Structure formats: C-alpha cells, structure tokens
Amino acid sequence: MTKETVSSNPINKEATITNHEELHNGLGSEEVRINNHMARTNTRWQNQNHSSNRNHDFYPGQLYGTESGKLFHAGKIMIVLVGLPATSKTLLAHSLERYCKWLGVVSRVFNLADYRRKFKDVPKEYFFGGETSTKAIEVRKQIRKVSINDMKKFFQEENGQLAIFDAMNTQKMERRCIQENFQCLNVNVLFVESIMTDKDLTERNIKLVMETIKEGNDEFDKKIRYSLLNKMLTSKPSYEEIEDSEKLSYVKFNNFGKQIVVKNNHQGYLLNKLVFFLMNLRSGKGRIFFCSSNSIHQEDISNCLKSIYNRVIEQIKKEDIVRRNFSPSLQEDDRPNSPILTIWCEHKFQLEEDSDIELINKSQLRRMNLGAIEGLSEEEIEKQYPKEYKESFEDLYHYRYPRAESYHDLAIRLEGLLLELEHQQSDLLIFADESVLRILYGYFMSSSCIEVPLLNFGKGEIVELSLKTFSKEIKKL
C-alpha cells in the first residue's frame, strides 16, 4: 500500500487512498487517521455524482460507496416478475426491494397495476386474459409503454441500479420486448417466474389480499375472492411459461421457494446474492414483536420475559378472533404445526414447559460492543472522552468509540439473522438489547443510517410489526 501522510487534522485529505488504490488493496482498505472516526474511507462513503453525499444517501447494510453509485461491480439490473394473479409476485417484489435497499442498491418497484389505476376509461376486458377487444389491447400496450419508459428514465436519469417490474408478463412476446428494450441499454435482465401449484398457498395469497382491502363484510370478501379466481382462470389459457428456447436468464420460483430452478444466470455477485435471498424467502410471515431487554437485571429476566410473552400471546389471540369475526371467510391459522409464539433471545434460561411456545437462544443477538465507554453514563462519556463524544454526533451510525462496535458493524454481523427472519413463518417475539432491535426493526422499515440510531423502544413497551403484501402495520402494546 502506498504510504499516506498523517497530520493533526482529523479529516486529512492526504490520508485518503484513491479509488484505484482501494480497488488494488481490496474493500478492507482503510483511511489512515489519528482519531477513530469511521474505519471506512471517504471514497467508500461519498458519491461524487449524486446531488447530495449526506449520510441518509446510505443504507444500514451498505459496505461502501462508489462514484457511479453502482455497487458490487454489478452494473444495472432489472428483475422481471412473471406469473398468474395470486402467485405472490408483489410480495416477492417488495421483499427484494427491501433487501436491496438495505444493501445500499438504488432500487425501485414498478407495479403495472399502479400505472393502470392512473389511466381513465379502462375497459372491463382489460382485466381478463387473452386479447378480448381492440380497445383492451391498445390500453394494455399504452400502460406497458409508460411503465417501460419510466424504468428507462430510472436507469438513465435517476442513477438507478435495480428496477423490479411487477406485472404478469405471461406471454413470450412481452418478455422478448422487455429483453430487447433493456439489453441495448446494458441492463442485465433476470426473469423470476412465480408458479403456484399448491392450492393452500394460492388460497393464502387470496386471504392476504382480502385482509389488505379490509372492506369488512363477508359478501364483499366473496366478491374479491371470486374476482381473483376469475382473473386467474381467464388468464391461464394465454399463459406461456418461460422456456429455454427464449434464451433468457431466469429463475423458476415454485410454490414460494419450495423448489427453485435457476437457468443462464452468469451475471455476477449481486444477482447470485439475490437468488440466495429468494431461497430463504417464505410467504405467510407471522407477526414480529420487538421488546427491549435494556434496564432489566439478569436475575429478573426470566420473570420479565414470562410477563412479556403472556402479553404477546393474549394480543395474538385477540387479533385472531377479531380477524375471523371481521371476515368470516378467513379460517383458522393455516400453520397448524407451528407454535403460537416463537421467542428469540440472547440469554440462556429455562421457561415453564409450554407446547405453544418455542424458546430459541440466539447468540447473534448479543448487544453492540461499547468498548471503552461500557458502563458509562452520557455525562461520564462526555467528560472522559470529550473529543470522541463530539465527533460521534457527526455520524451516529458509523462512529466507533475506542475498542467498540459501530451500528454499521452490528448490522453486518446481523445480516445472516435477517435472512433467517425472512424464512420465519410463525409469530415471533424478539427480546434483545435496544441496539439490536434498532437494526432488525430498521431493516423491515427501510430506515436510513440517520434514522436507525434514533429508533426508540421504551422500557416494557412491545412493538408489533405485521408485514402485509402491500403495506406494513405497526402497533405499540
């Protein structure tokens, strides 16, 4: 490594390695500084082409920044979803967007239904498969054209790296058009075909849509259910599954990850990372409850946790009763072999035997290492480490006190646990230090680096997060 000059100025430009040097020495190359503010180089945390290089342009799991704004040497990527209605395409789209934003990839979902809602005088035939009328065909072409132009603009003018096209795309002609439109722009296109042969999964997807609409009467639920099933039936005759002869890069995502087939994916690290993410993804996620273990003495943790999980179970039972009364067509929980509640916690201790509860000790949930400031109050930190205390406010997320972890270090450590959360299907209570909860909760809420350190979990407060197909629902108990 080239020898750098070190001066008394903590933001010494001469101490910054160049992009070329960083690439030569690897992503672990660090800027030489006399203080401890951020172990990452300026070149990795600034983007010269962006209109702003402020900290909120970076996301919690982002490892580095580049002048182009593109990460992982992956260039531009487009993920095109393929499949009939009620095959979890929208759920897939928003899950991929959430994970990519966490990594720092500039991502956006383009949902064709959103574009259709902006069009006036859409004929009824538009909602049925096949080419039922000239007007329906024309409207369909116009809507697709507008969405495709917006995606081109996203790549060419807005520095976008990953576009996710959420539409049926069930015909070979449509897929060929997309491939030709974006291949000439040097965009790597990956098709993800969601196929549902499991009737229970299809029924669950319909339930999720019905819950999201929340009209509140059984007659309306029946109409929604009939509408979705009718659209599936009318779309099926014109549906052409992806074939090798189309010469596309594609993933067949069968029954929401029960079987995955990958073909012609030779497009680098990021796409392989996304395929791995898909392998861990599961539908029908339960509710996630967050509760802080801060300010609880070790000897009181067992009794405290028992009180907390009893409150959570009571809430789950209440919500399930309301849910079924609200919409009688929704039956009992379709995960009969799952416990009522799974608990993740760092501490090892025994609870009373209860077949409805599964307690899992997760060593990964250990709190952020505070290093030299361990056990000190804020006033003591300011007195003993005045310089570091002042510098920490420049970047609460990435700043490290001596011999300590930063929130960013913690986020990287917890990435494997995030994939496990995506795999989780039963209702889950996470009982952990507030620093850990900030990272996990921030992931699902797509929080920025500025927002994560400021998230607050009050003593004894339980935060409930429900992930819907089209939205998130937050409650405080």
Task: Transcribe 76-99 into DSSP letters.
Answer: EEEEEEE--TTSSHHHHHHHHHHH
Can you tell me the distance from the alpha carbon of 208 to that of 121, in angstroms, rounded to the nearest whole number? 28
Buried-state track 95-110, b at ≥16 Cβ within 10 A, e below 16: bbbbbbbbbbbbbbbb
The single residue listed with the structure tokens 């998130």 is: 472
Residue 288's H or E segment, with its range, is: strand 288-292
Separate counts of helices (H) and strands (E) for the chain: 14, 12
Can you tell me the distance from the alpha carbon of 296 to that of 457, in angstroms, rounded to the nearest whole number? 13
Catalytic residue chosen out of the listed positions 57, 114, 166, 320: 166
- Asked if 309 contacts 341 with a C-beta cutoff of 8 angstroms, the reply is yes
- Asked if 457 contacts 436 with a C-beta cutoff of 8 angstroms, the reply is no
The single residue listed with the structure tokens 């406010």 is: 393
Residues 6+ apart with CB under 8 A from 109: 93, 94, 97, 164, 166
Sign of CA dihedral 466, 107, 91, 85: positive
Of the candidates 45, 98, 38, 56, the one whose C-alpha atom is nearest the C-alpha of residue 441 is 98
Which pair of tokens denotes residue 381? 């930190």
166 an active-site residue?
yes
Any bridge partners for residue 466, and if so which?
Answer: 473
Residue 192's H or E segment, with its range, is: strand 187-195
Residue length of the chain: 477
CA distances from 257 to 57, 194, 288 (A): 32, 9, 21
CB atoms within 10 A of CB 75: 15
Positions marked active-site: 166
